[in-house]
């Protein structure tokens, strides 16, 4: 009887500690499994730039996404979509892509588009805002390497000439898990390379040859004007 009473007292004393410990374990487990929980209304997305403390997310190889998509991932994509739509043409520039690591989530997800206004400017086909998951690319046989001007929401106020393939074959998955395998060239190929690179921790500035450099936006505009004279 005494033994039982003693055990009861000890258990009562330990209970809060045990619960606390379980709570830590559960949180750690939840974080490692889900990665995040996202409420679409209370968590507006914030762009991670390479000068912020949390920039390391931009440098990681992002996690593969599992199908079927869970609600957190679905909400993340929804919020990213909203961000791109809200950002469109805010200051006369076009948002043509956004990758999940750029908003702080290390997953192989990105959005891409060629808005109508931009397509008209370059006389190319517009591309509707779409998502691509677990994507990768490789150059096609006909592909050439070229230097193309780029900027990035995560590299503030800087532009540069990045080495890109003129034509790529890319594969990835739609939100409902359908496999996509396509060839892209021109601007679309450039956008897709830039965005897939984000999901592998690569920024456009890594693709600038040694004899070129990162420019301020003003320098970039002046340099481009000089080149097209
Ligand atoms: Zn970017």
Instruction: Give the Å distance between the CA of 19 and the centre of ligand 1.
Output: 44
Same domain flag for 89 and 159: yes
- 162, 159, 166: which is closest to 207 by C-alpha? 162
How many domains in the chain?
2
> Does residue 122 belong to any structural domain of this protein?
yes
Q: How far is the CA of 21 from the centre of ligand 1 (A)?
A: 41
Distance 98 CA to ligand 1 centre (A): 7
CA–chain centroid gap for 198, Å, is 6
Whether 65 and 155 map to the same domain: the answer is: yes
Q: What is the mean pLDDT of residues 89-105?
A: 87
Q: Are residues 6 and 78 in the same domain?
A: no
Are both 181 and 113 inside the same structural domain? yes
Please answer whether residues 165 and 187 qualify as being in contact, where contact means their C-beta atoms are separated by less than 8 angstroms: no
Which carries the bigger pLDDT value, residue 223 or residue 211? 211
- Residue 208: the pLDDT is 97
- The answer to whether residue 36 sits within a structural domain is no
pLDDT of residue 31: 30
Of 195, 218, 219, 226, the active-site residue reads 195
- Say how many Å lie between the CA of residue 205 and the centre of ligand 1: 10
Average pLDDT over residues 201-214: 95
Strand-strand pairing, 179-185 and 167-173: antiparallel
In a domain, 75, yes or no: yes
Q: How far is CA 1 from CA 15, 46, 218, in A?
A: 21, 61, 84
Tell me the mean pLDDT in the region 46-68.
95
- Cα(154) to centroid of ligand 1, in Å? 6
The rounded distance, in Å, linking the Cα atoms of 199 and 125 is 25
Q: Which range marks the domain in which residue 190 is found? A: 47-227
E strands, the chain, are 97-99, 109-114, 127-139, 145-152, 155-165, 167-173, 179-185, 215-216
pLDDT grade for 36, boundaries at 50, 70 and 90: low
Q: What's 147's domain CATH number?
A: 3.90.45.10
On the question of pLDDT at 66 being above 80, the answer is yes
Compare 32 and 62 and report the one with higher pLDDT. Answer: 62
Burial class (CB in 10 A: 0-12, 13-18, 19+), 205: middle
- Residue 26 domain-assigned (yes or no): yes
In a domain? residue 42: no
Q: For residue range 164-183, what is the model confidence (pLDDT) as tens digits? A: 999 999 999 999 999 999 99
Bigger pLDDT: 228 or 39? 228
Cα(82)–Cα(45) distance, integer angstroms: 9
Q: What is the CA(112)–ligand 1 centre distance, in A?
A: 11
In the chain, % of residues over pLDDT 70: 79
Is the pLDDT at 67 greater than 90? The verdict is yes
* DSSP track, 72-132: HHHHHHHHHHHHHHHHTTSSS----EEEGGGGT--BSEEEEEE-HHHHHHHT---EEEEEE
88 is catalytic: no
For residue 135, tell me if it sits in a domain.
Answer: yes
């Amino acid at each position: 009887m005494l033994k039982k009473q003693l055990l009861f007292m000890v258990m009562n004393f330990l209970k809060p500690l045990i619960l606390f410990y379980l709570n830590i374990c559960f949180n750690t487990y939840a974080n490692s499994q889900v990665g995040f929980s996202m409420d679409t209304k209370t968590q507006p997305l914030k762009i991670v730039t390479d000068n912020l403390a949390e920039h390391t997310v931009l440098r990681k190889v992002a996690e593969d996404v599992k199908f079927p998509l869970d609600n957190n991932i679905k909400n993340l994509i929804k919020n990213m979509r909203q961000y791109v739509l809200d950002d469109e043409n805010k200051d006369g520039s076009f948002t043509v892509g956004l990758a999940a690591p750029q908003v702080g989530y290390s997953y192989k997800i990105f959005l891409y588009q060629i808005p109508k206004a931009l397509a008209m400017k370059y006389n190319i086909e517009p591309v509707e805002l779409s998502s691509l998951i677990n994507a990768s690319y490789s150059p096609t046989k006909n592909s050439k390497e070229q230097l193309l001007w780029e900027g990035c929401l995560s590299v503030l106020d800087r532009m540069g000439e990045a080495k890109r393939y003129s034509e790529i074959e890319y594969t990835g998955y739609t939100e409902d898990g359908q496999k996509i395998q396509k060839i892209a060239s021109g601007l679309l190929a450039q956008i897709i390379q830039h965005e897939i690179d984000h999901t592998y921790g690569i920024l456009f500035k890594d693709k600038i040859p040694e004899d070129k450099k990162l420019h301020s936006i003003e320098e970039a505009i002046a340099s481009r004007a000089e080149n097209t004279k």
